[in-house]
Structure 1
Amino acid sequence: MRKLIFIITFISGLSVLFGCGDKIKPGEHEVERPLVEGVGIEEVMPVEITGYYETSGTVRAKNTSLVSAKVMGVVEDVKVKVSDPVRKGDLLLVINSPDIEAGVHAAEEALGEANKGLAMAEENKKLAEKTFERFKKLYEEKAVSEQEFDEIKTKRDVAILEYELSQKSLRRAGAALSGAEAFRDYTIIRSPVNGIVAEKKIDIGSMTAPGIPLFIIEEPPYRVEVAVDEGMISSVNTGMPVAILIDALNIKTTGRIGEIVRLIDPLTRTFTVKIDMEESIKPLRGGFYAAARFPVGKRSEIFVDENAVVTRGELRGVYAVNEEGVITLRLVKTGKKNNGMIEILSGLNKGDRIIVKGVDKALDGGRVG
């Protein structure tokens, strides 16, 4: 019975197969595709753009002065705070040093004594010279002996010598006072340049010591120092324009390369480039992060309307349209965005047609109406 049923089923299948052979021929069946209307199509064309090498660095003053003390003492007064503008010679800080003050007083007293000693030596010299002149006449008249005349002459010579020694002593005392006063001037800290107080490293009551930094003063103009890959060493030159972006200050400007340090760092394989900026840019301070873009020539790239790119999870694609109007979702790799356009690194070629308007209406496998 089962064998009979199998034979009947097999014969019925053959009848259906051969019976349909006259209606559908192989290769003539057309896929019915949904019609897509209301979309805009554009042809992909490469554009020539300027290529850039991007790196980052730090804003620094062209000249940074490290102000330190030359003497030890206690800070008595601080006249400035961070961000204050200063002029060359402005008072920054006062140091109290009793030892230095005592030295100045001692030098002043020594100078006073030297002045008195000189005045006394001058009087003795004058008296000795007058006495010598009188005895000289008496000696010529044979009124005094030769021995008496020699004694007076010797006293005169000694008085002259003592006067000369007093003059030297006075000069030494004056020099000592000048040195003591100059040393006291070290307790008055003044700005060495026109600039801005970038850092204050000490407060009232603190002890200063020779060589210990007290202030850091930045002298405009400012520049950006960046590390550049060693492969760029033949592509950068002094005077080259470089685009600068300082996000924290919302500053976009163009600087020019002022200095190139062509010594390669063996650890980072980079060299330093210093980019000068205009003095008029405000408010600049040292230490800010800055991005720099170096032009490296022209190249052809494909850019499409940012709205033409669709996202599927982690993937991105565009709807490409072939000559028959069939829509295909093509995966692409994207790059940078610029003014509503997005760079296509791979997935599209010159001459490809893509949907740029009405993308939400596009269907993968559909046909443009």
Structure 2
Amino acid sequence: MFLRLILMLLIVGGIIGGVYYMKMQQWEAMSEMAEQGQPPATIASTTVTEESWQPRLNSVGSMVAVNDVSVTNEVPGIVEEIQFESGQRVEKGDVLLQIDDNVDRAQLEGLKADLQLAQVQFDRAAKLVKERTVSQSEFDEAKARLESARANLASSKAEMVKKSIRAPFSGIIGIRQIDLGQYLAAGSEIAPLQSLDPIYVDYTLPERHLSDLSVGQTIDLNVQAYPGQTFSGRIEALNPGIDPGTRSIHIRGVLDNPDGTLRPGMFAEIRTLLSEQNDILTLPQQAITYAPYGDSVFVIEEQDGQKVVQRRQVKTGAVRNGRVEILEGLELGDEVASAGQNKLRNGQPVQINNDIEVNDKDAVSSP
């Protein structure tokens, strides 16, 4: 019995000793790996470069027609003739619509006859008053009838002219709102008419930029209907006052629009160009790590013949065409990691390979 107990103790002791030996071997291997350090991370790099940028003030606004009216009739009547097609271009003075004027023409003939009679009576009275055959008062009455007949004829002609609806300016006429034979009350909407060349764009900027703005200043804009296409124009006018509700200034730009590409009501992204600035330090946008506590980059340095990275806080500015303006924290020629930043730590060795695309699933983009 006693021998069996000693045998069991020896077996248990041997197992415990074997496990302890294996653990010791693992610990020694881990210590050797720690002393050797992590293998260098493969990253892509870029350098801080110097560029010339033209600063710009960004805003949004809407396209506005230079002239925009709804064509209406001044006098009532029945539509006798429609002389335009929806969507066509019309010139100033073109007849768009003819209202029935048969009654007016008949009245006009009667007024012409009245004028002729009044003219004859006046001529006779003028001759007789010289011979003292009629009194001066009879001559004055004949003269008054003549003037009244002339006025009535002119009024009738003016009324007839109003029944020919003409384009008040050149432009594109929209979809007609009336039909042939329809009775139109005075002021009925016939069709919209807009002048498209040139065309305005209205937008606002904060009042702090007032000193940077002037009439004739260049503007660029994009519209969603034509992605990738840029349209250029200039500032036409600035409102003299600041809006007290928004503390912004209302700006009107003007652009040439010979093809009618831009249309009133379009949403526009507008850039007001300022004076060109030189010596701007920039980096690709993907080289910046954005965080709530500040933006940073991993600067690549040489230590004991080995490339290592160190995180450095930077102050960024404008973003343009995938590049970011560096205001503080870096100098011209500094080399930084352009991909793989989120797997790096301070002092970590790296190896540069700009010929391959580094897989950086955690890359942080600009907010």
> What TM-score, normalized to structure 1?
0.65
Aligned counterparts of 2:285 and 2:122: Cα–Cα separation in 1 = 102
Q: Which residue of 2 aligns with 1:192?
A: 168
Gapped regions of structure 1 (runs ≥ 5): 1-11, 17-22, 24-28, 133-152
Q: Which residue of 2 aligns with 1:342?
A: 323
Q: Which residue of 1 aligns with 2:255?
A: 277
Q: Deviations over 1:186-237 (max 9, x none)?
A: 1111012222225645444554444455444333321212122222112101
Q: Deviations over 1:26-65 (max 9, x none)?
A: xxx735221346x553333565533321011122233335
Q: Which residue of 2 aligns with 1:303?
A: 283
What secondary structure sits across from 1:157 in the alignment?
coil
Indicate which of 300, 322, 325 corresponds to 1:321: 300
Aligned counterparts of 2:49 and 2:318: Cα–Cα separation in 1 = 17
User: Taking structure 1 as reference, are residues 240 and 321 closer, same or farther at Cα in structure 2, changes over 3 Å only?
Assistant: same
Does the 8 Å contact 2:316/2:328 carry over to 1? no
State the 1:245 CA deviation.
1.9
Does the 8 Å contact 2:280/2:326 carry over to 1? no
| 73-82 vs 296-305, greater mean Cα deviation | 296-305
User: Taking structure 1 as reference, are residues 317 and 206 closer, same or farther at Cα in structure 2, changes over 3 Å only?
Assistant: farther
Q: Which residue of 1 aligns with 2:231?
A: 253
User: Taking structure 1 as reference, are residues 368 and 123 closer, same or farther at Cα in structure 2, changes over 3 Å only?
Assistant: closer
Does the 8 Å contact 1:71/1:209 carry over to 2? yes
Q: Which residue of 1 aligns with 2:351?
A: 368
Indicate which of 210, 233, 258 corresponds to 1:233: 210
Task: List aligned pairs for 1:22-33, cutoff 5 A.
Answer: 30-33=35-38
User: Taking structure 1 as reference, are residues 295 and 361 closer, same or farther at Cα in structure 2, changes over 3 Å only?
Assistant: closer
Indicate which of 131, 136, 153 corresponds to 1:177: 153
**Count of aligned positions:** 318
Does the 8 Å contact 1:89/1:192 carry over to 2? yes
State the 1:355 CA deviation.
3.4
Aligned counterparts of 2:126 and 2:47: Cα–Cα separation in 1 = 113
Counterpart of 2:265, as a letter, is G
User: Taking structure 1 as reference, are residues 347 and 264 closer, same or farther at Cα in structure 2, changes over 3 Å only?
Assistant: closer
Is residue 272 of structure 2 the alignment partner of residue 294 of structure 1?
A: yes
Does the 8 Å contact 2:314/2:330 carry over to 1? no
Task: List aligned pairs for 1:64-103, cutoff 5 A.
Answer: 64-96=68-100, 102=103
Q: Which residue of 2 aligns with 1:353?
A: 335
State the 1:368 CA deviation.
2.4
Indicate which of 56, 59, 64 corresponds to 2:60: 56
Indicate which of 235, 238, 241 corresponds to 1:263: 241
Aligned counterparts of 2:52 and 2:350: Cα–Cα separation in 1 = 32
Does the 8 Å contact 2:57/2:273 carry over to 1? yes
User: Taking structure 1 as reference, are residues 113 and 309 closer, same or farther at Cα in structure 2, changes over 3 Å only?
Assistant: closer
Counterpart of 1:247, as a letter, is Q
State the 1:253 CA deviation.
2.6
User: Taking structure 1 as reference, are residues 124 and 292 closer, same or farther at Cα in structure 2, changes over 3 Å only?
Assistant: closer
The CA RMSD measured in Å over matched residues stands at: 5.0
User: Taking structure 1 as reference, are residues 90 and 244 closer, same or farther at Cα in structure 2, changes over 3 Å only?
Assistant: same
Q: Which residue of 1 aligns with 2:3?
A: none
Structure number with larger C-alpha Rg: 1
State the 1:166 CA deviation.
4.4
State the 1:310 CA deviation.
8.9
User: Taking structure 1 as reference, are residues 93 and 342 closer, same or farther at Cα in structure 2, changes over 3 Å only?
Assistant: same
User: Taking structure 1 as reference, are residues 112 and 290 closer, same or farther at Cα in structure 2, changes over 3 Å only?
Assistant: same
Task: List aligned pairs for 1:25-174, cutoff 5 A.
Answer: 30-36=35-41, 40-45=44-49, 47=51, 49-96=53-100, 102=103, 105-113=106-114, 115-116=116-117, 119=120, 156-157=133-134, 165-166=141-142, 168-174=144-150
Does the 8 Å contact 1:118/1:163 carry over to 2? no
% identical equivalent positions = 22
What secondary structure sits across from 1:234 in the alignment?
helix
Counterpart of 1:292, as a letter, is I
User: Taking structure 1 as reference, are residues 120 and 321 closer, same or farther at Cα in structure 2, changes over 3 Å only?
Assistant: closer
Does the 8 Å contact 2:175/2:192 carry over to 1? yes
